[in-house]
Amino acid sequence: MNDLFSKDGHLTDEALHMLVGGNPLTELERLELSEHLAFCDVCVAKYADLLEDCLLLSPAEPVAPSVIKRIQARARRMFANKYATAIAAACFAIVFWNIGVFDFGITDNSKLLSRLSNEASSFSQKTEQISAHLSEALDQFMNRFTIERGINHNEKK
């Protein structure tokens, strides 16, 4: 096995030259090199510099058209995901509006006002009842607590 890494953990110059020069490397060696280059700024900068003087290969067909197609497809997908919910909600709102869901069957303002005031008074009555129940329950609990403490005090005595 070649020494691809120096003792400080970086790629050796030999390793970078082997890679750029197209020397045969094993699958594991290529994996180790790519793993290191994927996170090491120093080595990737050296590698990019070496590539400047190297004869670059051309892909069989131009990459740009397919890349642009994929980017546009992705943008369309993201747009669809982002706005599909909002559009669906707006459609539902329009449908409900048209079939009169928001109408509540009230056409006269005075009827609406009287209904609202009735609702408000019944709500305040219910709140009073609940607070009365709560304070009663609290009193009972406190009384029990005092008695129990009293018993305990007596026991101690």
Partner 1 sequence: MTNEKFKSLVEQYERLVFTVCHQLVPDYHEAQNLTQDTFVAAYAHIDTVREENLRAWLARIATNKAKDYLKSAYNRRVSLSEDISELDIIRTEESPERLYLSGESADYIRQTILDLKEPYHKVSVLFFLEEKTVEEISELLSRPKKTVQTQLYRARSMLQNQLKEEVQV
Q: Which of 14, 17, 66, 135 is in the footprint of partner 1 by CB under 8 A?
A: 66
Closer to partner 1 by Cβ: residue 78 or 87: 78
> What would the x/- binding string for partner 1 be over residues 2 to 41, using CB under 8 A?
-x-xxx-x---------xx-x----xx-xxxxxxxxxx-x
Q: Across-strand partners of 11?
A: 5
User: In angstroms, how far is the first alpha carbon of the chain from the final one?
Assistant: 88
For residue 110, CA distances in Å to 95, 103, 116, 121, 122 come to 28, 15, 10, 17, 18
Closer to partner 1 by Cβ: residue 56 or 86: 56
- Angle separating helix axes 27-37 and 41-52, nearest 10 degrees: 110
Closer to partner 1 by Cβ: residue 48 or 88: 48
Residue 115: both structure tokens together: 């209904």
Interface residue list for partner 1 (CB under 8 A):
1, 3, 5-7, 9, 19-20, 22, 27-28, 30-39, 41, 44-45, 47-48, 51-52, 54, 56-64, 66-68, 70-72, 74
